[in-house]
Amino acid sequence: MNALPLALTPGDPAGIGPEIIAKAFREAPDLLRGAFVAGDVECMRRGAAFAAGGGVALPVALLESAGEAHGVPPQCIPVLQVTASAPLPAIGRASAEGGRLAAACVTWAARAALRGEVAGLVTAPLHKEALAAAGVPFPGHTELLQAEAARHVGHALPVRMMLANDELRTVLVSIHMALRDAIDAVTRDNVLETLRITHRSLSALLGRAPRIAVAGLNPHAGEGGLFGREEGEAIVPAMEAARAEGIHAQGPFAPDTVFMRARRGEFDVVVAMYHDQGLIPVKYLGVEKGVNVTLGLPLVRTSPDHGTAFDIAGTGRADAASFIEAVRVARQLAGVAPQPTGGRPS
C-alpha cells in the first residue's frame, strides 16, 4: 500500500470547504488518518468552529512537514501552512483574497503530488468568480491541475472529468465552456481521446476493461442524421477507431435513456458529450453521494460533487458526505490505507 499522506485542500475560504473538511475528520476519523490539510491554519480553525455548531471544535495540529500527518491522533485536524498568513475573507462572499488563497493551496498540493511527496489530493470547492477576481487564469480545478501537470512533464496532457456515485459514472468530452463551443468540441479526435482516457482509467479502477456507453449529442442520437450530423461525422468514427484499439464502446445511444440503462447495470460508464448532459443525471441522484475524479493526470485528484455553497457557509449546516466519499475514492485510486496515529495537537 502507498504510505504517503493524502493532501486535502480547503477550497474557497469563504465557502463550506473548511467546514466539511473539519466534519470529515470528526465523522470519519479512521478514513482521514494520514491525511492533512494543505492550507491555512486560521482558515481551518474557523472551519472547525463552524463545524462544531456552538460545541467544542476539533483541535488543529500545525505540521512542519506533510509526513507528520501520520502522527496526528484521530479527530484532530493536521494542517500544513502552505500560504502566507493573511486576514481571512468574509464568509459567503466571493473575493480576490479568497480566490488567491484557494488557488495557492491547490497549486502547492498539485506540485507536491507531482514530485511524489503526497499520494494524491482531495479538493474542496473553488469559486470561479473569486478565481477570476484574483487573476487566476483558469476557471476551475481541472484546468489548473492540467496546466501544472503539463508544466511538470513538459508537454500537454489531455484530461477528462468523471463524476461518479454508487449508481452511475459519467465522463465528459468537454467541461467548462459555453454550450455553443461544447458542440464544436464534439470532434472525432476529442471523442476518441475521451474513450481512451476512460478505458485506461476505469480499467485500473475496476480491474477489467469497462463497458463504455456513448451518448449521442442530438435528440435520439441524431435519428440517422435527421436531427444532426455530429453522430455520423464525429462520434461513430471515433468509436470505430476505439474499438479497433480493443476499447469496449457501444452506441451512440439516445441521451435521454442511456443514463438509465447504465444505472441499471448495463454499462460501467457513460461518455457524455458536454458538461450538463453528463452531470445532471448524476447530480439528480444526490450531490451528497457524488465524487468528481480528474482522469488523465499523472496524479490522483478527487473532489466532492458540489460547490462552495456561499448561502449556507458559516451556518454549520454543510454536509460532509460527498467529501468523505471523495477521500474514500482517492485512497482507493492511490492505494493508500489509513495509518495508525499518535501524538498530540498543537
In a domain, 341, yes or no: no
Q: What is the pTM of this model?
A: 0.85
Is the pLDDT score of 338 beyond 60? no
Phi then psi dihedrals of residue 237, to 5 deg: -60, -35
Q: Measure the CA–CA gap between 109 and 129, rounded to whole angstroms.
A: 21
Residue 126 and residue 65 share a domain: yes
Summarised one tens digit per residue, pLDDT across range 126-157 is 999 999 999 999 988 989 999 999 999 999 99
Cβ partners under 8 Å of residue 114, min gap 6: 148, 149, 152, 298, 299
Query: Is pLDDT at 2 greater than 80 in this prediction?
Result: no
Could you give the residue ranges of the DSSP H alpha helices within the chain?
Answer: 17-27, 29-32, 41-52, 96-114, 128-133, 141-153, 179-184, 188-206, 230, 236-244, 255-263, 275-284, 321-334
Give the whole-angstrom CA distance, residue 238 versus residue 243: 9
Residue 345, in any domain of the structure: no
Check which CATH number belongs to the domain holding 56 and give it. Answer: 3.40.718.10
What's the pLDDT band for 285 if we cut at 50, 70, 90? confident
- CA dihedral in degrees (169, 236, 221, 197; nearest 10)? 20
**Which pLDDT band holds residue 286 (cuts at 50, 70, 90)?**
confident
Does the residue 346 lie in any domain? Answer: no
Q: Is there a domain that residue 292 lies in?
A: no
Query: Are 213 and 270 within 8 A, CB to CB?
Result: yes
Quick: pLDDT tens for 186-207: 999 999 999 999 999 999 888 8
Give me the mean pLDDT over the 45-50 stretch. 97
- Please state the domain count of the chain: 2
Instruction: Say how far apart CA 130 and CA 104 lie, in whole Å.
Output: 13
Residues 13 and 149 in one domain: yes
Q: Are strands 77-81 and 120-123 parallel, antiparallel or unpaired?
A: unpaired
Give percent above pLDDT 70 in the chain: 96
Does 104 share its domain with 175?
no
Q: Which residues contact 278 (CB under 8 A, 6 or more apart)?
A: 163, 170, 171, 172, 215, 270, 272
Distance between start and end Cα atoms, the chain: 29
pLDDT in tens, 234-264: 999 999 999 999 999 999 999 999 999 999 9
Contact between residue 177 and residue 313 where contact means Cβ atoms under 8 Å apart: no
Both 123 and 264 in one domain: the answer is no
Could you tell me the pLDDT band of residue 336, with boundaries at 50, 70 and 90? low
What residue type is 74 in one-letter code?
P
Write the single-letter amino acid at 15.
G
Of 343, 339, 310, 251, nearest to 95 (Cα)?
Answer: 310
Which of 108-117, 196-205, 280-289, 299-308 has the weakest average pLDDT? Answer: 280-289
10 and 77 co-located in one domain: yes
Residue 287, domain member (yes or no): no
Kindly state whether residues 68 and 23 are assigned to the same domain: yes
Residues 191 and 228 in one domain: yes
Residues 135 and 33 in one domain: yes
At 106, which amino acid appears?
V
Same-domain pairing of 72 and 33? yes
Could you tell me if residue 26 is inside a domain? yes
Q: Dihedral of CA 197/203/205/210: which sign?
A: positive
In a domain, 291, yes or no: no
Q: Are residues 103 and 209 in the same domain?
A: no
> Are 304 and 277 members of one domain?
no
| pLDDT tier at 346, thresholds 50, 70, 90 | very low
Same domain membership, residue 187 and residue 136:
no
For 326, the domain range is: 6-156+297-334
Instruction: Count Cβ atoms below 10 Å from residue 47 Cβ, excluding itself.
Output: 34
278 vs 232: CA distance, rounded Å: 20
Is 344 contained in some domain?
Answer: no
Residue 160: DSSP 8-state: E
What does the pLDDT read at residue 344? 33
**Rounded Cα–Cα distance for residues 204 and 224 (Å):** 35
